[in-house]
Amino acid sequence: MQKTKIASTELGVPASYAADLERSERTSELLRELVAHLRQNRTLLREEWVARISEARLLTAMTQEEIFNEATSVYDSYVAALETGTFEALQAYARNLSERIIPRGVETHEVVGIVLLLRDVLARSLFAKYQTDFKKLNQILDAYEPAANRIANTVAVGFVQERSASFASSRRQSGNCRLLCCRCGSAC
């Protein structure tokens, strides 16, 4: 049986809406293909990312084992965000990550740096996979780049917000300590 394609204007749907819907479906299809590639190459890509983190001297407050464990969690959260298009889990992970690493002295530029490195490692893997099909590469990158940028932004903003909250809490605690010291006559 042959399917007949009905023009969107015949259904009373504006052509621009139909084009957006078709583009959205195509983007979803490309992202599914991308996610499958990232899952198939998880070990290799994660190891490449950890090596680049070390080369860039990021997360130096952490051991290699801690970096690898965090890289695994971030990678899996990143792929899940690409797959689902939802960033709530990634936001929660960014907050949890921040709570763990801020007290260790990890700086904002390091967190932003590792997320950008992951984006770059994954993009390079796409170049390698689709190097013989330039049209497909461009389509995949058109689907990937906005999502990757949104993920990087989500993680960076989550870290900065958590860091600000952590500093505000530290200041309040420090002020309470000074107040207590002044009341008891101790030198601060």
How would you write the pLDDT of the chain (188 residues) with one tens digit per residue?
Answer: 444 444 444 445 454 444 444 558 888 899 999 999 999 999 999 999 999 999 999 999 899 999 999 899 889 988 988 888 877 777 777 777 777 788 888 888 898 899 999 999 999 999 999 999 999 999 999 999 998 898 888 888 888 888 787 767 666 665 555 545 555 555 55
**pLDDT value, residue 90:** 73
Model pTM score = 0.73
Q: Which domains does the chain possess?
A: 23-163 (1.10.490.10)
* Rounded distance between C-alpha atoms, residue 146 and residue 148, angstroms: 6
Structure tokens at 65: 């084992």
For residue 176, give the H/E element and its range.
Answer: helix 134-184
**Is residue 50 exposed (0-12), middle (13-18) or buried (19+ Cβ within 10 Å)?**
buried
